[in-house]
C-alpha cells in the first residue's frame, strides 16, 4: 500500500526540537534575509523564512531592496551583515534581478554565515562529505527518508535534475548515504528506462506532470521536489501524482512534502552558524 510522506508533520516535529534547542543556547541565533526586487514567489519564500524564524525563537532581520539596487549597494549590505554580531546566517534570496551578478554576491558572503551552503567553500565540503552547512532542500529530502524509516544504502537512486541547488547536492547526499546514484538531465537518453531502475526517484526538474506512471517501478519511493503551477494555476510538483502514487510504496505530496523541510534545514544551519560563532560544539 502507498504511504504518503507528510513533510508538514515531520517538519513540525523537527521545528519543535529546534525551538527547544534555541531556548537552551547561551546566545540567540540570528538570520538576515535579503530580497532584491518584487518577484511574488520570492516574496512568499522570504516571508515564510522570517515567520519560521519567529516560530522557533531565531532572531531575524529582513532587508527588502528595490529592483534597481546596484551590485555595489548589495555587496555593501553583505559586508555589513558579515560584520554584524547579531547575524549568524545570511541568505540572499535567488534569483536576483538580471543586472546583478549572483556569483559575486554568493562569493561575498562569509562562508561561516552562508546558511544556504551556496558558497564554493561549502559546496566543496559537501562534496568531500565533511560539511558544516546542510544543502537545505536535499538535506530535507534525506530527513524525510530517515523519518519514514527508509535507508538509501545499497538502493538504486535516480535524481532527475542537476542544478547546483538541488540535483547535484542531492546526488552527493545519497552517495554519502551509500546509495548507487544516477543523475539525469535534459540530455539523458532513454530517460523513462533509467527512471524505472530507481528504488528511490527524486525529481527536481520544475515541470508539472513530468514524471508519469511509465517512468516508475512498482513499489518505488518517489520524492517530488518540484514546485510548479498546473494549467489551472494550482500548486503542484513534477510528478503526475494521481497516476504515479498507486505504483509507489512511499510518495511525497506537493504542497506539504519537501517544501516545508527546506526552511527547517535552513533553521538548523542558522543554529549551527551561531554555535560555531560562540565556539560551541556542533553535532553533525
Ligand atoms: P533548474 O531549472 O535549475 O534545474 C532543472 C533541472 O531539470 C536541470 O538540470 C535540467 O537539465 C533538468 N531538466 C529540465 N528539463 C528536463 C527534461 N525534459 N528531461 C530531463 N531533465 C530535464 O531547477 P532547480 O533545481 O532550481 O529546481 C527544480 C524544481 O524544484 C523547481 O520546480 C523548483 O521550483 C523546485 N525547488 C523546490 C524547492 C523546495 O523547497 N521544495 C527548493 C528549490 C527548488 P539541464 O541541466 O540539462 O538543463
Quote the pLDDT of residue 275.
97
pLDDT confidence tier of residue 162, bands split at 50, 70 and 90: very high
Q: Choose which residue among 166, 198, 224, 258 to substitute to test ligand 1 binding: the one with the highest number of ligand atoms within 8 A of its C-beta.
A: 166
Q: How far is CA 186 from CA 119, 130, 202, 206, 227, in A?
A: 25, 30, 15, 12, 18
pLDDT at residue 284 greater than cutoff 90: no
pLDDT confidence tier of residue 283, bands split at 50, 70 and 90: confident
CB 15 within 8 A of CB 51: no
* Average pLDDT of the residues in 38-63: 95
The catalytically annotated residue of 114, 116, 132, 224 is 116
Share of the chain above pLDDT 90, in %: 97
**What is the CB < 6 Å shell around ligand 1?**
137, 160-163, 165-167, 184-188, 191, 204-206, 225-228, 258-259, 262
136 beta partners: none
**Nearest ligand 1 atom to alpha carbon 160:** 21
> What is the per-residue pLDDT across 194-246, written as a single tens digit (0 to 9) for each?
999 999 999 999 999 999 999 999 999 999 999 999 999 999 999 999 999 99
Quote the pLDDT of residue 207.
97
CA angle, 278 then 280 then 282, to 5° = 125
Mean model confidence pLDDT for the chain:
97
**Nearest ligand 1 atom to alpha carbon 207:** 32
Give the predicted TM-score (pTM) of the model: 0.97
Amino acid at each position: 500500500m502507498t504511504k504518503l510522506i507528510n513533510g508538514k508533520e515531520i517538519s513540525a516535529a523537527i521545528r519543535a526540537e529546534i525551538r527547544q534547542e534555541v531556548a537552551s543556547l547561551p546566545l540567540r541565533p540570528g538570520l538576515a534575509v535579503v530580497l532584491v526586487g518584487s518577484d511574488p514567489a520570492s516574496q512568499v519564500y522570504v516571508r515564510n523564512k522570517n515567520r519560521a524564524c519567529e516560530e522557533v525563537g531565531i532572531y531575524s532581520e529582513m532587508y527588502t531592496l528595490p529592483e534597481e539596487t546596484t551590485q555595489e549597494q548589495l555587496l555593501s549590505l553583505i559586508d555589513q551583515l558579515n560584520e554584524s554580531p547579531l547575524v549568524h546566517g545570511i541568505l540572499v534570496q535567488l534569483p536576483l534581478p538580471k543586472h546583478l551578478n549572483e556569483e559575486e554576491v554568493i562569493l561575498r558572503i562569509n562562508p561561516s554565515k552562508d546558511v544556504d551552503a551556496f558558497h564554493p567553500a561549502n559546496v566543496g565540503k559537501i562534496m568531500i562529505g565533511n560539511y558544516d552547512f546542510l544543502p537545505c532542500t536535499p538535506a530535507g529530502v534525506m530527513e524525510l527518508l530517515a523519518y519514514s524509516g527508509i535507508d538509501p544504502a545499497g538502493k538504486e537512486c535516480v535524481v532527475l535534475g542537476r542544478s547546483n541547488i538541488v540535483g547535484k547536492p542531492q546526488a552527493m547526499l545519497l552517495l554519502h548515504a551509500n546509495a548507487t546514484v544516477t543523475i539525469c538531465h535534459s540530455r539523458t537518453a532513454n530517460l523513462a528506462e533509467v527512471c524505472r531502475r530507481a528504488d528511490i526517484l527524486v525529481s527536481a526538474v520544475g515541470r508539472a506532470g513530468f514524471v508519469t506512471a511509465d517512468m516508475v517501478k512498482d513499489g518505488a519511493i518517489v520524492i517530488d521536489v518540484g514546485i510548479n503551477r498546473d494549467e489551472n494555476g494550482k500548486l503542484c510538483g513534477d510528478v503526475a501524482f494521481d497516476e504515479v502514487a498507486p505504483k509507489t510504496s512511499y510518495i511525497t505530496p506537493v504542497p506539504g512534502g519537501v517544501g516545508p523541510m527546506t526552511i527547517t534545514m535552513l533553521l538548523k544551519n542558522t543554529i549551527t552558524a551561531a554555535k560555531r560563532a560562540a565556539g560551541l560544539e556542533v553535532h553533525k
